[in-house]
Amino acid sequence: MSKLSKLLVVRFSSIGDIVLTSPVVRILKQNQFEVHFLTKKKYVPLLVNNPNIDKLYCFNKTINEAKSEIVNENYDFIIDLHNNIRSQSLRLLNVPIKRYSKSNFKKFIYMNFNLNFLNDEHVVDRYVKTISFLNLKNDNKGLDFFLNPNDKVEFDINQNFASWCIGASKEEKKLSKSQILKIMASLNLPVVLLGGEDEKEMGDAIIAESHKTKIYNYCGNITVNQSAYLIKYSQFLLTNDTGLMHIGAAFNKKIISFWGCTKPDLGFAPYVDATQSLMFTSSFSKRQCSKHGSS
């Protein structure tokens, strides 16, 4: 096989899952493959700065928006790291497809009977197995996330500070305000709060009710990449099970993560050395719900 083979990597969403594909992209590029990537338009900012991606394709609502362009690329292979009905429609391009194995049956057994046969295999390692047919293996260099100067936030990054992602995709994955305030009281350095518009009010309440004088609420006010900028320069990251947790891992931050109804056993723990990660799992939710936080 030519080292100049052209490949399309497919992952439509979400923030964390896309960040977790970065080792696959890097390994392919370092082995002289031309790497294209297909994702949803809203996630393009996560990938646009990645030097390991030669061309980026996206769509808003349906994959057909991108098919008219990618059909002319004459790919040697498609690496499907999403593996759902939508991505499976790419078979109509008549290009050989290698799909990521989701281990859905093992997940079903774990979520419904609390029997774990996943062997503690991280999803990154499962992603990398998808390209093993090319005689490629994990380079063990961790995750990547790339910023540009426009992602800078007007904040004094020369001081020691902590970043804290208080948001999550589901309420069951979040710490409560009272839990956050209790932990916040033990911190002796400034804290920046990160999250979406839904966490803005909670962030304001934390500032109002905390005795700390240096808490900065950026929830709903900055982009994901700007949040990544603050994480990159913080001393450590406190976070729920979120995409920002994986961005923190890409910057090799010390990570304190809090797990509600999701558990790291499904293969989504911070992809860092064990010495960099401290995980707290909820004692109120012993049975694993889905990785996205639904029962």
| pLDDT for residue 227 is more than 50 | yes
How far does CA 27 lie from the centroid of its chain?
18
Close Cβ partners of 134 (under 8 Å, ≥ 6 residues apart)? 1, 28, 31, 33
Q: How sure is the predictor about 212, in pLDDT bands with cuts at 50, 70 and 90?
A: confident
CB atoms within 10 A of CB 54: 15
We find that the CATH architecture of domain 6-134 is 3-Layer(aba) Sandwich (3.40)
Give the pLDDT of residue 105.
47
Torsion-angle region of 32 (φ positive above 0: left; ψ -120 to 50: alpha; else: beta)? left
Give the pLDDT of residue 156.
98
Range of lowest pLDDT (95-104, 169-178, 197-206, 220-229): 95-104
The mean of the pLDDT values for the chain is 92
Q: Where in the chain is the domain with CATH 3.40.50.2000?
A: 6-134, 149-281
**DSSP, res 176:** P
In whole angstroms, give the CA distance from residue 74 to residue 71: 7
The predicted model gives 141-167 an average pLDDT of 98
Number of helical H runs and strand E runs in the chain: 11, 11
CATH topology of domain 149-281: Rossmann fold (3.40.50)
* Cβ proximity of 275 and 266 under 8 Å: no
Burial class from Cβ neighbours inside 10 Å (0-12, 13-18, 19+) for residue 147 reads middle
| pLDDT for residue 291 is more than 70 | no
In whole angstroms, give the CA distance from residue 90 to residue 154: 43
**DSSP, res 266:** G
Give the pLDDT of residue 295.
40
Per-residue pLDDT of 10-29, as tens digits, reads 999 999 999 999 999 999 99
User: What tokens appear for 288 in the block?
Assistant: 């694993």
